[in-house]
Amino acid sequence: MSDRFAENQRKAEQYLARFKTKSLGHLIGGKGIAGYDGNVMENSTPIDGSTLNTVSMGGESEVNLAAGAASDAFSDWRNASGTARRQLLHRIADAVEARAEEISLVESVDTGQAIRFMSKAAIRGAENFRFFADRAPSARDGLHLPAVNQLNYTVREPVGPVGVITPWNTPFMLSTWKIAPALAAGCTVVHKPAEWSPLTAMLLAEITHEAGLPQGVLNLVNGIGEVAGRALTEHRDIAAIAFIGGSETGRHIMAQGAPTLKRVHFELGGKNPVIVFEDADFERALDAVVFMIYSLNGERCTSSSRLLVQSSIHDRFVDALAKRVKNIKVGHPLDPNTELGPLIHPNHHSKVCNYMKIGAAEGALIRVGGQAIDRDGGCYFQPTLLTGVSHEMRVAQEEIFGPVLSVLPFDDEAQAVQQANAVDYGLAGYLWTGDAGRAHRVAGQMDCGMIWVNSENVRHLPTPFGGMKSSGIGRDGGDYSFDFYMETKNICVATTDHRVPQLGLAD
């Protein structure tokens, strides 16, 4: 065991000790709340299945309390100046950075994500707060739309208290990606994190309050999706739901929110293609293909889980790929050498294992991996490469959300595009080619919300993030986030005594 690994384990234990002393509750109106009916759930680590802590499972009562706190706090928060909000969000970013090590280690143990990736989670979260902090003062700005005899101008106003529902894969970063723009816009928030990874949401809620966020502006309710999540989506005081999670859950949330005409923003699943043409830079494409499916345990919405590779280079590319996949270091997530940690939960582990049976029954070949790894009772799974896949197979169509890459050959550009688009999803797409014309042509035809050409996924916060088809509704990033968290209002002022149509003058 390296010194760094031992040090990570020692520190993680210290940071996690506080969670063992009492059940993790909720944070509502600036106060810690234990929960009303005593329902608790055990939260375990996927490293060895041991219990980290217990968590109060909130329901309608806790959601009512939190929605009430968010409603009460809304008026003052929406009327706070943009400058005040900017200063506060920067203070939150400072506080996140100051506790970056704690956040990373806790998240790594809670989720199984390798520390080499999680060490950046808190820093990226802080960047989200800084980015939206700087835009808070101009978030309300609108357009000047003059007409004859009239002056039209638009203003933007925060939509109201919003619900934020997040998944377990990179929970801290994703929560900040939603909460930071909501707060910058002037909305108050009720956050419902995923039940399999509740710890860093509480750290975030605490940090925001320690940084001076007024009571009730950010509230946290822990609980089961179908109970606490449902209550939040149905609550009449919650104006909008920002949701990150699976497409099926998105469908439920849309139905649950229908009676109250909830505004929804969905970042959902993906089955993202990476197309490698024969004229691509072979080695760089190989690096990116490996990185974009085996990093973050493959539990990544933008993972390139389908490799479409031109037939002329298929065998050479797959041989090189297989060699790399066999070399991926699976291990304890706190070991800095680990590239692939345990999957989040035994249920998810079983789901990924089951896809091996499904793939084999459909005729796919397990070229590398495909097995659970028996290690410390944890949820480990081998990095897996499936070849001989055709696009109607379930392993080419469904989101496995694990370290499993399906390889499909194609002959020409038209077939590459046809296969890339032949899924229900449309989140991200990647393409590798040395031909600039082809890059633009193919990118233009791919049904994906985001396309990276000759690149892995590199985020630039002002750009729109989101998916088409079953991958989502709406975009995050830059001003796109404010479009969701704010209403645009038009104000029309007459500039002359124009003639007003007259009714009721007869007799």
Using CB under 6 A as the criterion, which residues of the chain lie in contact with ligand NAD when the complex forms? 165-169, 174, 192-195, 225-226, 229-230, 233, 244-246, 249, 252-253, 256, 267-270, 301, 399, 401, 427, 467, 472
Shorter beta-carbon distance to ligand NAD: residue 188 or 256: 256
Active-site residue flag, 267: yes
Contact 285, 456 (CB under 8 A): no
H/E element, 472: strand 472-473
Shorter beta-carbon distance to ligand NAD: residue 174 or 290: 174
DSSP state of 375: S
40 forms beta bridges with 56
State the minimum distance, in angstroms, from the CB of residue 268 to ligand NAD: 5
Contact 40, 55 (CB under 8 A): yes
Shorter beta-carbon distance to ligand NAD: residue 247 or 382: 247
Contact 434, 280 (CB under 8 A): yes
Shorter beta-carbon distance to ligand NAD: residue 125 or 186: 125
- Interatomic CA distance for residues 343 and 372, integer angstroms: 10
Q: From edge to edge, which strands make up the β-sheet containing 263-267?
A: 31-33, 26-28, 218-220, 189-192, 162-165, 240-244, 263-267, 472-473
Shorter beta-carbon distance to ligand NAD: residue 101 or 483: 483
306's tokens? 């389908």
Look up residue 68 and give its amino acid.
G
State the minimum distance, in angstroms, from the CB of residue 383 to ligand NAD: 19
H/E element, 274: strand 273-276
- Interatomic CA distance for residues 320 and 405, integer angstroms: 14
- Interatomic CA distance for residues 289 and 123, integer angstroms: 25
Catalytic residue among 62, 102, 107, 267, which? 267
Shorter beta-carbon distance to ligand NAD: residue 182 or 318: 182
State the minimum distance, in angstroms, from the CB of residue 494 to ligand NAD: 45
Place of tokens 């294992």: 353
Active-site residue flag, 448: no
Q: Give residues with Cβ within 8 angstroms of 117, minimum separation 6.
A: 295, 296
State the minimum distance, in angstroms, from the CB of residue 170 to ligand NAD: 7
Residue 440 phi/psi, 5° resolution?
Answer: -70, -40
Q: Rg of the chain's alpha carbons, rounded to an integer?
A: 24
State the minimum distance, in angstroms, from the CB of residue 377 to ligand NAD: 22
State the minimum distance, in angstroms, from the CB of residue 409 to ligand NAD: 26
Shorter beta-carbon distance to ligand NAD: residue 165 or 408: 165
- Interatomic CA distance for residues 191 and 179, integer angstroms: 8
Shorter beta-carbon distance to ligand NAD: residue 229 or 409: 229
E strands, 149-285, in order: 150-158, 162-165, 189-192, 218-220, 240-244, 263-267, 273-276
State the minimum distance, in angstroms, from the CB of residue 389 to ligand NAD: 20
Pair type for strands 240-244 and 162-165: parallel
Contact 209, 183 (CB under 8 A): no
Shorter beta-carbon distance to ligand NAD: residue 333 or 474: 474
220's tokens? 């946290």
State the minimum distance, in angstroms, from the CB of residue 467 to ligand NAD: 6
- Interatomic CA distance for residues 293 and 324, integer angstroms: 12
Q: Give residues with Cβ within 8 angstroms of 84, minimum separation 6.
A: none
State the minimum distance, in angstroms, from the CB of residue 7 to ligand NAD: 30
DSSP letters along 378-422, please? Answer: --EE--EEEES--TTSHHHHS---SSEEEEEEESSHHHHHHHHH-
- Interatomic CA distance for residues 398 and 271, integer angstroms: 7
17 C-beta neighbours (distance < 10 Å), count: 10
**CA-CA-CA-CA dihedral for 484, 487, 488, 491, to nearest 10:** 180
State the minimum distance, in angstroms, from the CB of residue 89 to ligand NAD: 21
Catalytic residue among 187, 301, 379, 448, which? 301
Shorter beta-carbon distance to ligand NAD: residue 156 or 178: 178
User: So which residues are the catalytic ones?
Assistant: 267, 301
